Chain A
């Protein structure tokens, strides 16, 4: 089954692709360019890995341009739809140890739990709370999840160049009965290598978040965006996430991606 990171062409997909870092690919595909769903599926297929680990360096620029810096470590087991991920903050000192577990499902939205060591409690992030910003960044909780490609309808919106590279512009909408904070999303996928380079996420007709992926490098055969910039247009704030020490196919255990494991400090 083909699966898509996030909502395919939507913020979830975008940021998820960003955060979980799996969506960048080489140039060997042979498919019909006008088949939006296939393009998204192929884009994701090329980013598959058994696991992924990276250290994230975040800079949050508030509306007044004040900068707040954070660091986290991300571990992900599996790819697309059925994957599991733990993001654990390592800086600043006062949030060190705060962690988020994301358990993705192919047929529905993910389950998420947040661990706060200062109070020694884990808390499930309810579906209706997923539009909330994730710990002061411009990524929402929903942006951190993956969803199966079958949860969305895709349509080709045309072609457009991003930074001089020809791209397909594809729109995705959640299928009926599938919940999302976003009414629709648009993704720009490069024609030459099937790498998604920009996402725009809409609530009704209003653009609310934009994700731009830059500094694309080949890491262990997987094209990987090393810098992701998420802009919250409502708050007029943005977060730049830089991925460092990216590694794929690191040995990981399924038992390390449970609520029980989330409570461990490292």
Chain B
């Protein structure tokens, strides 16, 4: 479903001209990417992809209580991952990335210990860095599974509290799903010879709700969280319409989450832990727990994060799903970075499945070129068995070059 919010977009773009500098700020960038895949896959012979993204965000502070934020993304690409229709999207329910999208548009009211944010916004929960089981209001764009990006949601959020204790209440009237790989492209991993079609998805009605209590102490930070709504990752129904021809339908199971997270600085390292237990009234959805334990340390120009993600399935029901969060469990996760100088840095991220059947690693070098330009080169290596979540993408190792102009 597409909705046009041209008026909103004009408001965002026109804001800068009308307001004074000291209560107005803006930022954005234009980025062009080139991605090369050495291997083809059965359902996608494309090996080179070009992408372009223009992002503009503006912020206006009306007075000490009210603040407004708006942002828009405009995209184009060579591989039809971006919709060719020139329409402005609000709800991010499109199968492809929209060519124009309201990235955020919200109003913030802050008075004493109360902060209320209304509108399209980003909400992030959790303290871990690589996998966040409690991050239930953060759907992602998984068109290229291992290079995902967060999507904003339409929500009302109220946060009350001071520095030590805060209560966060979130109400979401409009469901935003994660965007999953396109069936005719390499990240869907469809076997050769099977004709797959898609039926219109079944988006859940009703609203979603979440609450989180966060405590900041002198020794540690920790929180408890609750979510009642739907999983933003789908399950699938299959219908065989003729031999080797299948229609699939996405649907989004009910989900209830009980979670918690903590960050404890110790003498040598900071320990972070995050866990959540998920139940569902949908008969085809699993009930399970996800957990992450990680250690992190910065030393000089280096930073290190290393940990383990696991899951415990208490009731197995699902047959066909797409679950990158669970796909990264039973795995050792790591991230390391080194700042070479003020303009250059290098980073390595990796996930190694405990059983050795899947491996993902990304090496990235980034260099600023003057005050506005930045060039980034990355190599992503994926290995493993067909049966493994990571291993199934073993033909999708790739190299990426990006050039960004920020303003």
Q: Report if A and B associate in a common complex.
A: yes
Residues of A bordering B, CB below 8 Å = 60, 62-64, 66, 68-69, 90-94, 96-97, 103, 108, 111, 120-121, 124, 126-129, 131-133, 136, 237, 253, 255, 257-261, 264-266
Asked if A128 meets B269 with Cβ closer than 8 Å, knowing A258-B162, A264-B67, A266-B67, the reply is yes
List the B side residues contacting A261 at CB < 8 Å.
Answer: 110, 115
Structural contact, B267 and A128, CB atoms closer than 8 A: yes
Q: 4 smallest A-B Cβ distances: which pairs?
A: A93-B406, A129-B298, A126-B265, A68-B342
Structural contact, A265 and B59, CB atoms closer than 8 A: yes
Q: Flag the segment in B184-192, B281-289, B353-361, B366-374 that touches A.
A: B366-374
List the A side residues contacting B343 at CB < 8 Å.
Answer: 62, 66, 68
List the B side residues contacting A69 at CB < 8 Å.
Answer: 371
Q: Which residue of A lies closest to B270 (CB)?
A: A126
User: CB < 8 Å: which of A62, A108, A111, A124 contacts B341?
Assistant: A62
Structural contact, A133 and B301, CB atoms closer than 8 A: yes
**In whole Å, how far is A225's beta carbon from the nearest beta carbon of chain B?**
23
**In whole Å, how far is A238's beta carbon from the nearest beta carbon of chain B?**
11
The CA of A63 and the CA of B343, in the complex, are separated in Å by 12
Structural contact, B67 and A120, CB atoms closer than 8 A: no
List the A side residues contacting B59 at CB < 8 Å.
Answer: 265-266
List the A side residues contacting B4 at CB < 8 Å.
Answer: none
Q: Is B397 an interface residue (CB 8 A)?
A: no
Q: Is B300 an interface residue (CB 8 A)?
A: yes
List the B side residues contacting A237 at CB < 8 Å.
Answer: 342
A92-B371, A136-B342 are known; give 7 further A-B pairs, CB within 8 A. A63-B341, A68-B342, A93-B28, A94-B404, A264-B67, A265-B69, A266-B59
Residues of B bordering A, CB below 8 Å = 23, 25, 27-29, 59, 61, 64, 67, 69, 108, 110, 112-113, 115, 122, 124, 150, 159, 161-163, 166, 216, 218, 221, 263, 265, 267-270, 296-301, 303, 339, 341-343, 368, 371-372, 374, 404, 406-407
The CA of A63 and the CA of B371, in the complex, are separated in Å by 18
The CA of A66 and the CA of B372, in the complex, are separated in Å by 16
Structural contact, B115 and A92, CB atoms closer than 8 A: no
List the A side residues contacting B270 at CB < 8 Å.
Answer: 124, 126, 128-129
List the A side residues contacting B218 at CB < 8 Å.
Answer: 108, 111
User: CB < 8 Å: which of A93, A120, A259 contacts B407?
Assistant: A93
Structural contact, B342 and A93, CB atoms closer than 8 A: no
**In whole Å, how far is B280's beta carbon from the nearest beta carbon of chain A?**
27
Q: Which residue of A lies closest to B59 (CB)?
A: A265
**In whole Å, how far is B382's beta carbon from the nearest beta carbon of chain A?**
23
List the B side residues contacting A121 at CB < 8 Å.
Answer: 124
The CA of A265 and the CA of B117, in the complex, are separated in Å by 12
The CA of A129 and the CA of B61, in the complex, are separated in Å by 33
Structural contact, B371 and A265, CB atoms closer than 8 A: no
Structural contact, B25 and A265, CB atoms closer than 8 A: yes
The CA of A66 and the CA of B18, in the complex, are separated in Å by 38
**In whole Å, how far is A245's beta carbon from the nearest beta carbon of chain B?**
10
List the B side residues contacting A136 at CB < 8 Å.
Answer: 339, 342
User: CB < 8 Å: which of A253, A255, A266 contacts B61?
Assistant: A266
Q: Which residue of A lies closest to B124 (CB)?
A: A120
**In whole Å, how far is B261's beta carbon from the nearest beta carbon of chain A?**
12
Q: Which residue of A lies closest to B302 (CB)?
A: A132
Structural contact, A132 and B29, CB atoms closer than 8 A: no
Structural contact, A253 and B64, CB atoms closer than 8 A: yes
A-B contact pairs, 19 of them (CB 8 A): A60-B342, A63-B341, A68-B342, A93-B27, A94-B404, A103-B163, A111-B216, A120-B122, A126-B298, A128-B265, A128-B270, A128-B298, A129-B270, A129-B299, A260-B159, A264-B67, A265-B25, A266-B23, A266-B61
Structural contact, B342 and A62, CB atoms closer than 8 A: yes
Q: Which residue of A lies closest to B26 (CB)?
A: A96
The CA of A255 and the CA of B112, in the complex, are separated in Å by 6
The CA of A92 and the CA of B404, in the complex, are separated in Å by 13
Structural contact, A94 and B368, CB atoms closer than 8 A: yes
List the B side residues contacting A266 at CB < 8 Å.
Answer: 23, 25, 59, 61, 67
The CA of A255 and the CA of B216, in the complex, are separated in Å by 15
List the A side residues contacting B297 at CB < 8 Å.
Answer: 128-129
Q: Which residue of B lies closest to A136 (CB)?
A: B342
The CA of A120 and the CA of B122, in the complex, are separated in Å by 7
List the A side residues contacting B163 at CB < 8 Å.
Answer: 103, 257-259
Q: Which residue of B lies closest to A103 (CB)?
A: B163
Asked if A127 meets B113 with Cβ closer than 8 Å, knowing A69-B371, A120-B150, the reply is no
List the B side residues contacting A64 at CB < 8 Å.
Answer: 341
Structural contact, A66 and B342, CB atoms closer than 8 A: yes
List the B side residues contacting A124 at CB < 8 Å.
Answer: 221, 263, 265, 270
List the A side residues contacting B162 at CB < 8 Å.
Answer: 255, 258
Asked if A92 meets B263 with Cβ closer than 8 Å, knowing A132-B300, A255-B110, the reply is no
User: CB < 8 Å: which of A94, A127, A133, A260 contacts B115?
Assistant: A260
Q: Which residue of B lies closest to A254 (CB)?
A: B162
The CA of A255 and the CA of B341, in the complex, are separated in Å by 36
The CA of A91 and the CA of B267, in the complex, are separated in Å by 34
**In whole Å, how far is A138's beta carbon from the nearest beta carbon of chain B?**
10
**In whole Å, how far is B263's beta carbon from the nearest beta carbon of chain A?**
6
Structural contact, B29 and A93, CB atoms closer than 8 A: yes
The CA of A45 and the CA of B230, in the complex, are separated in Å by 57
Structural contact, B25 and A96, CB atoms closer than 8 A: yes
Structural contact, A93 and B371, CB atoms closer than 8 A: yes
Q: Which residue of A lies closest to B138 (CB)?
A: A120
Q: Which residue of A lies closest to B123 (CB)?
A: A120
**In whole Å, how far is A114's beta carbon from the nearest beta carbon of chain B?**
11
The CA of A246 and the CA of B298, in the complex, are separated in Å by 33
The CA of A93 and the CA of B55, in the complex, are separated in Å by 12
